[in-house]
Amino acid sequence: MVETTQAASPAKQPLRIALAGLGTVGVGVIKLIEANAGLIARRAGRPIMITAVSARSRGRDRGIDLASYAWEDDMTALAARPDVDVVVELVGGSDGPALVLARNAIAQGKALITANKAMIAHHGMALAQAAEQKGVAIRFEAAVAGGIPVIKGLREGAAANRVERIFGILNGTCNYILSTMEDTGRDFAEVLAEAQAKGYAEADPTFDIEGIDAAHKLSILSAIAFGAKIDFASVDTQGISRILAADIAQADALGYCIRLIGTAEADAGPDGTPGLFQRVAPHLVPVDNLLAHVDGPTNAVVVEGNFSGRLLFQGAGAGDGPTASAVVADIIDIARGMDTGFEADMAFSIPVDGLEAMAPAPSGHRIGRSYIRFLVADRPGVLAEITAAMRDAGVSIESLIQKGQATQGGAVLVAIVTHEVAEAAVTEALRLLDGSPSLVAQPLVMQILGN
Amino acid sequence: MVETTQAASPAKQPLRIALAGLGTVGVGVIKLIEANAGLIARRAGRPIMITAVSARSRGRDRGIDLASYAWEDDMTALAARPDVDVVVELVGGSDGPALVLARNAIAQGKALITANKAMIAHHGMALAQAAEQKGVAIRFEAAVAGGIPVIKGLREGAAANRVERIFGILNGTCNYILSTMEDTGRDFAEVLAEAQAKGYAEADPTFDIEGIDAAHKLSILSAIAFGAKIDFASVDTQGISRILAADIAQADALGYCIRLIGTAEADAGPDGTPGLFQRVAPHLVPVDNLLAHVDGPTNAVVVEGNFSGRLLFQGAGAGDGPTASAVVADIIDIARGMDTGFEADMAFSIPVDGLEAMAPAPSGHRIGRSYIRFLVADRPGVLAEITAAMRDAGVSIESLIQKGQATQGGAVLVAIVTHEVAEAAVTEALRLLDGSPSLVAQPLVMQILGN
């Protein structure tokens, strides 16, 4: 520990920020830096000063005064400006101008901060490696779970632990839709339309409701937690669009709520080959689980460490204020001097070269309980057919509920909860039933989240 | 952003640790560093190596082999050893050898890591100032909320925010006792004895059950959250020893659980004078509150930021593994290089000289709902006397429950929940009743935690 003297510290110059993207989050960052300027300067050790901004449209009224910031029509040119130390990318999109700007920033030897989960999920390894070579920081706290400092919590707070599992609610739109369906008994399409009207869901909601956004975030967390190279393509991803109000009612009657859960763990697989299991899918969550009381557009992540035990991080998963809070936390870290030397290498906790390329773990051997929902024709023999398939596949049934009357377009709902069984057995049972004229829709399988 | 080259980095030498205190936590730290050595070295950028240890008794069997570590009989001498870079103090006690060792470490220009909440609550300002002058780090993640990285979350993760309030469950012993009373219907003394037998409570439980331990932790969090000098002496502190099984049953019937809550906020007071409100006391927690489902020896802290909204950090509040996880996280931060330059000044987020000496905020003007429990003699006129006092003090009653029969040693329980009212009015009502022969015990007042 060498003594450092304050007089020798160069840390009193303002840290100069270029901001690309002036949507909700970009405007939130400007508002935050203006509103909390004094305390930020005290905590950062120097003022944080936005010097230049850029967005697709200059003229749009954003409700804030941009006159004191230089404007660049070409956002990718922000990185080369001599009055910029740190580039903040809030444009979005995995490629395109966001990626060009990110590459430019690093090439110019400037720190990069981004809220862009898609870009990090697809290009995070290459960007982090380039940043390491340049000795600059790349930070993306806002890319996962909005305002919750979960990347810091995992990379630094839990750094002493071998992580055994991470699981969480990573998409606020889905959580809003599912908890609203639960509260109101209404169907998916209706609640989605309302979420779009309220601004909780986008005009094209595909990335959210099909689990892709959550999979982006999970793949980033997995890399940090398990020391693995990001492998977004291998995340087993299912969305929530097939969930019926009747599923939610059924789950509720059994003591569960339904949530879109991302889960990842290192899994040696049936033959002992090391692998990384990553899944985003709707799960039945027992009411006594940490995640069962996470309602509305909230995110929550549980990190299971071999010494820490379970750590829960919870808060707003989106929104201008929370996301801006995460972006500016990254800026303050850099202002404080946490981007020099080894710090530049720790975007994913260890240098990129040290991250393992872990094979995707198979899931068939995984033991758990499942909820299986059938929509069947209302005629004799259907239950016998389903239960025979379960028996033949070795799936033991814990409970079976058949609703007395046809509710779903003339079909009858049959819901089964299995005992603990390998996932492959459930798959086999459904294969045996495949093509049966008794089934009027593809069955829906949801895992029950284990404690 | 100046480019740094890896070759020039001195960060590949092992970081050498001296460990004072070999109780549960100290042994946990050794076990963790041994068990996770490989991944810690990868994440820290260099190996973490314990070189020397000390404790009160050398001979005691601790279930681990200490042969590879140098032993010092005088723990305060650890700091001067040339083979030590970082001193980890796990001895405990606000003064005595722990404090001498802490001062020695800083005087020797070595980083200090401690889990000692009492020492930080009493001497944290002087220690941090000495550390700043020496340019060394002082870290104490393990001093608050066990394994939960809440100090990091507050100091770094929420650094962009003006904090509006912090509140949380900061003592696992009290939370275990209260949630067990709730689950079993048993009385305080019986559950405390069981907690002692299970190791969840100490032989002398005073610091835990009287709220002192939680007040230590709250005063540390307050300093970071509000940029205030630590003021442990001003924490309004009440314990849980007067809570009856009947209070818990009553609260439950009204839709609340009872938890020991620490809460702090900047409060301008009735005359506009800036002040810091800090209280540790049992509260009634509404079942829909974030903290209502925190059971057993768990801790949870909510940080309310002006941009982040509510952030919840939850996990194990004590225990060897979780506490060791927090201690080693601090070690890894230092190994990564986060203790140089400005970083050495951020133990409390800003340098000690910049922390305000905030006056304690008065509480009489604070508006809230209260639960007031009386034990009264079973005779006519008692209710009239109580309700008249409430009326005369301007306290409006939302609900009043009198148990039909005498249950507490011949006394009858009367529980009142007030409408929102200034705390001073409740105090006045109780003053009016003071000395009344109708009351067979001092009334118990608990605030209802506001959302």
Q: How far apart are CA A312 and CA B5, in angstroms?
A: 37
Q: Tell me the nearest-neighbour CA distance from B114 into chain A, angstroms.
A: 15
Same-domain check for residues B167 and B310: yes
Q: What is the CATH number of the domain that holds A329?
A: 3.40.50.720
**Kind plus residue range of the DSSP H or E element containing A262:** strand A256-267
Task: Please indicate, yes or no, whether residues A302 and A184 belong to a single structural domain of this protein.
Answer: yes
| A contacts of B290 (beta carbons < 8 Å) | 293, 314
**Looking at the domain assignment, is residue B156 inside a domain?**
yes
Q: Provide the residue type at B131 as one letter.
A: A
User: CA-nearest residue of chain B to A341?
Assistant: B4
Question: Does residue A42 fall inside a structural domain?
Answer: yes
Residues present in chain A in total: 451
B10 pLDDT more than 60? no
Interchain proximity B342–A9, CB inside 8 Å: yes
A53-89 pLDDT tens trace = 999 999 899 999 999 999 999 999 999 999 999 999 9
Residue B360 belongs to a domain: no
Same domain, B201 and B273: yes
User: Is the predicted pLDDT of residue B352 greater than 90, yes or no?
Assistant: yes
Residues A294 and A438 in one domain: no
Same domain, A295 and A155: yes
Position A5 in a domain: no
Co-location of A289 and A162 in the same domain: yes
CB contact under 8 A, B342 and A311: no
Query: Residues A156-184: pLDDT tens digits?
Result: 999 999 999 999 999 999 999 999 999 99
CATH number at residue B430: 3.30.70.260
Residues facing residue B257 across a β-bridge: B285
Residue A415 lies in a domain: yes
**Is pLDDT above 90 for A396?**
yes
pLDDT of residue A420: 97
Q: Is B152 a catalytic residue?
A: no
Confidence of residue A339 (pLDDT cuts 50, 70, 90): low
Q: Which residue of B has its CA nearest to A153?
A: B149
Residue A359 lies in a domain: no
pLDDT of residue A378: 87
Is the ipTM beyond the 0.90 threshold? yes
Residue of B86, B183, B325 to mutate, testing the A interface (most A Cβ within 10 Å of its Cβ): B325
CA angle A125, A131, A133 (to 5 degrees): 105
**What pLDDT shows up at residue B168?**
98
Domains: count for chain B: 3
Same domain, B284 and B156: yes
Alpha helices in B372-450 (DSSP H): 382-393, 423-433
In a domain, B1, yes or no: no
SS3 content of chain A, % helix, strand, coil (to 5): 40, 25, 35
Inter-chain residue contact A340 with B344, CB threshold 8 Å: no
Question: B272 and B235 in one domain?
Answer: yes
Q: In terms of CA atoms, which chain A residue is nearest residue B331? A: A160
- Contacting residues of A for B306, CB less than 8 Å apart: 35-36, 321
- Read off the pLDDT band of A405 (50, 70, 90): low
The pLDDT, as a whole number, for residue B231 is: 98
Averaged pLDDT for residues B408-417: 86
Q: Which of B198, B217, B229, B403 is catalytic?
A: B217
Both A192 and A276 in one domain: the answer is: yes
* Torsion angles phi and psi, residue A301, rounded to 5: -130, 130
Chain A contact set for B38 (CB, 8 A) = none
Q: Nearest CA to A153 among B29, B314, B120, B111?
A: B314
- pLDDT for the residue numbered A119: 98
Rounded distance between C-alpha atoms, residue A137 and residue A140, angstroms: 10
CATH of residue B291: 3.30.360.10
Q: What is the pLDDT of residues A341-375, one digit of tens each?
A: 566 678 999 999 999 999 999 999 999 999 999 99
pLDDT at A338 (0 to 100): 63
Cα A428 to Cα A91: distance, rounded to the nearest angstrom: 45
pLDDT of residue B5: 39
Q: In this predicted structure, what is the pLDDT of residue A379?
A: 87
- Within this chain, do residues A343 and A432 fall inside the same structural domain, yes or no? no
Q: Which pLDDT value is given to residue B403?
A: 76
Q: How many CB atoms lie within 10 A of CB A71?
A: 11
- B/e letters for A159-169, b = 16+ CB within 10 Å, e = fewer, are bbbbbebbbbb
Does residue B73 belong to any structural domain of this protein? yes
Task: Report the residue from B28, B158, B314 with minimal CB separation from A325.
Answer: B158
pLDDT at residue A2 greater than cutoff 90:
no
Cα angle A294, A298, A304 (rounded to 5 degrees) comes to 65
Q: B367 to chain A, minimum CA–CA distance in Å?
A: 26
A241-297 residue pLDDT tens: 999 999 999 999 999 999 999 999 998 878 888 899 999 999 999 998 989 989 999
> Both B121 and B224 in a single domain?
no
Which pair of structure tokens corresponds to residue B16? 């050498």
Query: Under a CB-based contact definition with an 8 Å cutoff, are residues B311 and B161 in contact?
Result: no
Place of tokens 């190596």: B49
Range of the domain at B422: 367-448
User: What is the C-alpha to C-alpha distance for residues B137 and B251, in angstroms, rounded to an integer?
Assistant: 45
Token pair for B162: 């003006």
What Cα–Cα distance (Å) separates residue B211 from each residue in A270, B205, B277, B292?
50, 10, 16, 19
Strand pairing category for A444-448 and A111-114? unpaired
Q: A182 and A272: one domain?
A: yes
